[in-house]
């Protein structure tokens, strides 16, 4: 099978530019030839321990050079990688491992030791791989599973295992917040990813001379551009060290010092680098392309950024995890007024439709819900046919022509110039620091606490991080519960960015005339 | 613990770190290596220190080296206060 899939982007660059750096991090680097060999070895090790093509393998480890080897190794074994937020608690990993029945886990010894014996119950788990140099001593075994140290992986043959993967097979599954209280796995194929990666690589002219920042963690789809458009071009990818990731001033200095040429990050990240990171005093002459996605960019900050590096290209990319990037807008010059940036036009591999509630196209200038069809649209949600059927619907796209399209839940207006304007959500999904959060998922977790009677989570708009999360809770009579204990309860099953920053206790919640909780009144009462 | 360390420790444990296993957090325990601080926690900690101790912490001082542990944060605060 000669078709190029995601891992073959590395294979091809290893043939073309074997000695160029593929991954550079913390003063270490791995060339394309080495990345190719190491990922082949891991693939052989996975297959040797019983992982089969078509399986899922979870990644739960701090970002490292080995974590990049791991995701290519998993795909070379014909399996799909399932990146789990490294900051998420073990309970969330266990849920995901069970949910999509992973057959392997790539982690590090310290984390393996923190896992409960039962974490993989219900998953056909074959082994744990410890992706770190020097981890030769086996950590305590979890449920009797073998721990495969990195040295054992290194002893495998570096010849590529035979590929039995087709372009429609799954490359990765990304778990996103689910409104019913449980995260859902978005299934994406090699073809889905490649459609975006090939287009983005071409339109932003990524070459082997480029140095790409990798700020987004691997469970966030922004990382697919950094990793795969980088590999396709034979460029160097610079994954951000977990040590500095939370320090805007450290990130800004490092990117300037490393002379990174392509940055792709959320507006929250870029705004913090601008407001707290001292970007204005740094050398940005190497910056060539700056891409952002995931939330609305406050215009005053975008304008400041564009003035600091006027020589760079800027583009706003839009798309939910289910479609990856589906529309884009190149920002040619600093916007003159403060109106939010449009999300632009469809990328050439997708088509966007603005439909009313009866699924009829809205006339130009009108507003409706955004639907997307085309090459990057997901295969569905893992193990959730009903949710998939609601999200992917066969609709008429032209007279007598139907196709599966993804219903985004985003309300948009088609402007007269053909650009789409983002108006808001039709549900309670919000963004915080670029992460997509279903307020309902947090509320479900709060309700699980025995002392909680009612709970509402509010997203309070914030200039720097888009929204801050605040919970308003009514406890059961007589129940004693403090804020710290309840936040701790949340942290046991939610990733850190979903834990409410503050919790307010009230005796009752304001109601609308129909008896529903009055969210608007609650949000207004917070705006002081 | 010094008075500065005690105040910062109390703030971190009660307001920032909701994880189960920080009750025994010692002033020298690593905060970053254990993944306990995200960008929002750091902003909150900086704001807390500035208000509590009446100092300003310039952005260029908000770096991993100064947030390694409770001890490191306290040392930064004491330097900004012109103390030891």
Q: What percent of chain A has pLDDT over 70?
A: 98
H helix runs in A89-188, sequence order: 90-99, 109-114, 150-154
Q: Give the closest of B37, B43, B59 to A277, CB-based.
A: B59
Q: For A126-167, what is each residue's pLDDT tens digit? A: 999 999 987 665 556 677 788 999 999 999 999 999 988 999
Q: Which residue of B has its CA nearest to A465?
A: B40
The answer on A308 and A400 residing in a single domain is yes
- Distance set, CA A182 to CA A90, A294, A442, A495 (Å): 15, 21, 9, 12
Determine which of A26, A496, A500, A501 to mutate to test the interface with B (most B C-beta atoms within 10 Å): A496
Q: Give the closest of B38, B43, B59 to A496, CB-based.
A: B38
Asked if pLDDT for residue A411 goes beyond 80, the answer is yes
A377 compared with A439, residue with greater pLDDT: A377
Determine which of A116, A244, A276 to mutate to test the interface with B (most B C-beta atoms within 10 Å): A276
On whether residue A189 sits in a domain, the answer given is: no
Query: Residue A256: which domain range?
Result: 213-425
Q: What is the CATH number of the domain that holds A134?
A: 3.40.50.980
Provide φ and ψ at A214, rounded to 5°: -125, 100
The answer on A276 and A330 residing in a single domain is yes
3-state secondary structure of A81: strand
In chain A, what residues touch B67 (CB-CB under 8 Å)? 247
What's the confidence (pLDDT) of residue A138? Answer: 57
Pairwise CA distance, residues A453 & A476, whole Å: 5
Residues 6-65 of B with CB under 8 A from A: 14, 18-20, 32-33, 35, 37-44, 59-60, 62-64
On whether residue A464 sits in a domain, the answer given is: yes
Strands (E), A132-288: 147-149, 170-176, 184-189, 211-214, 236-239, 262-265
Query: Is residue A527 very low, low, confident or very high in pLDDT (cuts 50, 70, 90)?
Result: low
End residue of a domain, out of A371, A401, A425 = A425
Determine which of B16, B18, B62, B67 to mutate to test the interface with A (most A C-beta atoms within 10 Å): B18
- Largest Cα–Cα separation, chain B: 35
A249:B67 CB<8 A = no
| Lowest mean pLDDT across A140-149, A241-250, A260-269 | A140-149
- Distance set, CA A166 to CA A175, A189, A375, A437 (Å): 23, 9, 15, 32
Q: What is the CATH number of the domain that holds A249?
A: 3.40.50.12780
What's the confidence (pLDDT) of residue A364? Answer: 82
Cβ–Cβ under 8 Å, residues A405 and A392:
yes
The answer on A227 and A262 residing in a single domain is yes
Q: For A30-88, what is each residue's pLDDT tens digit? A: 999 999 999 999 999 999 999 999 999 999 999 999 999 999 999 999 999 999 998 88
Q: Give the closest of B42, B59, B64 to A278, CB-based.
A: B59
Q: Which among B84, B1, B16 is positioned nearest to B49, based on CA atoms?
A: B16
- Distance set, CA A224 to CA A10, A190, A255, B13 (Å): 14, 11, 19, 36
The string of DSSP letters for A227-250 reads IIIHHHHT-EEEEPPTTTTT-HHH
State chain A's mean pLDDT as an integer: 92
What mean pLDDT is predicted for residues A400-413? Answer: 95
**pTM of the shown model:** 0.90
Q: Which among A71, A76, A49, A41 is positioned nearest to A59, based on CA atoms?
A: A71
A209-223, A354-368, B69-83: which is most confident? A209-223
On whether residue A347 sits in a domain, the answer given is: yes
The string of DSSP letters for A356-390 reads -TTSPBPPTT-EEEEEEEETT---EETT-HHHHHH
The answer on A132 and A272 residing in a single domain is no
The answer on A396 and A247 residing in a single domain is yes
On whether residue A221 sits in a domain, the answer given is: yes
What mean pLDDT is predicted for residues A431-460? Answer: 89
Provide φ and ψ at A501, rounded to 5°: -70, -35
In chain B, what residues touch A276 (CB-CB under 8 Å)? 43, 59, 62
Pairwise CA distance, residues A204 & A197, whole Å: 10
The answer on A471 and A399 residing in a single domain is no
What letter would DSSP give residue A515?
A: S
The answer on A437 and A323 residing in a single domain is no
The answer on A388 and A306 residing in a single domain is yes
What's the confidence (pLDDT) of residue B84? Answer: 45
End residue of a domain, out of A403, A425, A447 = A425
What letter would DSSP give residue A511?
A: B
On whether residue A10 sits in a domain, the answer given is: no
What letter would DSSP give residue B63?
A: S
The answer on A374 and A247 residing in a single domain is yes
Q: Which among A339, A337, A297 is positioned nearest to A314, based on CA atoms?
A: A297
A246:B38 CB<8 A = yes
Q: Classify residue B1 by burial, with Cβ atoms within 10 Å: 0-12, 13-18, 19+.
A: middle
End residue of a domain, out of A374, A394, A425 = A425
Q: What percent of chain A has pLDDT over 90?
A: 70
Query: Is residue A429 very low, low, confident or very high in pLDDT (cuts 50, 70, 90)?
Result: confident
Q: For A284-313, what is each residue's pLDDT tens digit? A: 999 999 999 988 898 999 999 999 999 999
On whether residue A16 sits in a domain, the answer given is: no
Give residue limits of the domains in chain B. 3-80
A491:B19 CB<8 A = yes
What's the confidence (pLDDT) of residue A137? Answer: 56
The string of DSSP letters for A277-341 reads S-GGGS--TT--EEEE-SSPPPHHHHHHHHHHSTTSEEEEEE--TTTSS-EEEEE-S--SS-SPP
Q: Which among A176, A129, A103 is positioned nearest to A406, based on CA atoms?
A: A176
No. of helices (H) and no. of strands (E), chain A: 16, 27
A247:B63 CB<8 A = yes
Total domains, chain A: 3
The answer on A479 and A400 residing in a single domain is no
Pairwise CA distance, residues B71 & A135, whole Å: 30
Q: What is the CATH number of the domain that holds A467?
A: 3.30.300.30
Determine which of A111, A247, A249, A468 to mutate to test the interface with B (most B C-beta atoms within 10 Å): A247
The answer on A272 and A395 residing in a single domain is yes
The answer on A161 and A247 residing in a single domain is no
Q: Give the closest of B40, B59, B62 to A501, CB-based.
A: B40
On whether residue A141 sits in a domain, the answer given is: yes
Query: Is residue A380 very low, low, confident or very high in pLDDT (cuts 50, 70, 90)?
Result: very high
Query: What CATH homologous superfamily does B3-80 map to?
Result: ACP-like (1.10.1200.10)
| Lowest mean pLDDT across A22-26, A119-123, A346-350 | A119-123
Query: Is residue A511 very low, low, confident or very high in pLDDT (cuts 50, 70, 90)?
Result: confident
On whether residue A21 sits in a domain, the answer given is: no
pLDDT in tens, chain B (84 residues): 899 999 999 999 888 876 556 778 899 999 888 878 888 889 889 999 999 999 999 999 999 999 999 999 999 999 998 854
């Amino acid at each position: 099978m000669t078709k190029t899939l995601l891992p073959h982007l590395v294979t091809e660059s290893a043939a073309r530019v074997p000695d160029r750096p593929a991954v550079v991090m913390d003063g270490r680097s791995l060339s394309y030839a080495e990345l190719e060999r190491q990922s082949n070895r891991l693939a052989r090790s996975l297959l040797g321990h019983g992982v089969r093509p078509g399986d899922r393998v979870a990644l739960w480890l701090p970002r490292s050079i080995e974590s990049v080897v791991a995701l290519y190794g998993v795909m070379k074994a014909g399996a799909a990688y399932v990146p789990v937020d490294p900051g998420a608690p073990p309970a969330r990993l266990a849920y995901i491992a069970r949910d999509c029945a992973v057959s392997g886990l790539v982690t590090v010894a310290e984390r393996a030791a923190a896992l409960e014996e039962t974490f993989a119950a219900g998953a056909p788990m074959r082994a744990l791989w410890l992706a770190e140099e020097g981890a030769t001593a086996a950590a305590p075994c979890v449920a009797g599973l073998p721990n495969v140290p990195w040295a054992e992986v290194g002893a495998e043959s570096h010849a590529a295992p035979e590929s039995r993967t087709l372009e429609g097979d799954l490359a990765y599954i990304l778990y996103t917040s689910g409104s019913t209280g449980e995260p859902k796995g978005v299934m994406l194929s090699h073809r889905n990813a490649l459609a975006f990666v090939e287009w983005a690589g071409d339109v932003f002219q990524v070459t082997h001379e480029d140095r790409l920042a990798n700020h987004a963690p691997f469970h966030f789809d922004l990382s697919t551009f950094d990793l795969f458009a980088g590999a396709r071009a034979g460029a160097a990818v610079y994954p951000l060290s977990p040590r500095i990731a939370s320090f805007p001033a450290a990130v800004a200095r490092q990117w300037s010092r490393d002379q990174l040429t392509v940055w792709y990050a959320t507006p929250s990240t870029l705004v913090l680098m601008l407001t707290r990171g001292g970007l204005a005093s740094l050398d940005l002459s190497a910056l060539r392309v700056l891409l952002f996605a995931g939330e609305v960019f406050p215009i005053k900050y975008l304008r400041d950024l564009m003035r600091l590096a006027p020589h760079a290209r800027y583009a706003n990319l839009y798309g939910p995890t289910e479609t990856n990037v589906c529309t884009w807008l190149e920002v040619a010059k600093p916007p003159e007024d403060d109106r939010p940036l449009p999300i632009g036009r469809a990328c050439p591999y997708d088509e966007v439709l603005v439909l009313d509630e009866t699924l009829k196209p809205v006339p130009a200038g009108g507003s409706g819900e955004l639907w997307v069809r085309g090459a990057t649209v997901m295969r569905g949600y893992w193990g959730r046919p009903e949710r998939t059927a609601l999200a992917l619907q066969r609709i008429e796209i032209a007279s007598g022509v139907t196709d599966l399209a993804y219903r985004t839940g985003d309300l948009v207006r088609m402007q007269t110039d053909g650009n789409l304007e983002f108006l808001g959500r039709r549900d309670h999904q919000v963004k915080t620091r670029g992460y997509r959060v279903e307020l309902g998922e947090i509320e479900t977790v709060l309700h699980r606490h025995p002392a909680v009677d009612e709970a509402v989570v509010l997203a309070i708009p914030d200039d720097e991080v888009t929204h801050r999360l605040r919970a308003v809770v009514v406890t059961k009579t007589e129940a004693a519960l403090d804020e710290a204990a309840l936040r701790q309860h949340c942290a046991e099953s939610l990733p850190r960015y979903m834990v409410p920053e503050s919790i307010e206790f009230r005796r009752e919640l304001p109601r609308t005339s129909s008896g529903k909780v009055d969210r608007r009144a609650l949000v207004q009462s917070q705006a002081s | 613990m010094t008075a500065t360390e005690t105040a910062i420790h109390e703030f971190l444990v009660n307001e920032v770190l909701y994880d189960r296993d920080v009750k025994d957090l010692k002033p020298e325990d690593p905060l970053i290596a254990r993944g306990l601080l995200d960008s929002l926690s750091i902003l909150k900690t900086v704001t807390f220190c500035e208000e509590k101790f009446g100092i300003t912490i310039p952005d260029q001082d908000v770096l991993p080296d100064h947030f390694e542990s409770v001890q490191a944060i306290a040392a930064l605060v004491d330097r900004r206060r012109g103390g030891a």
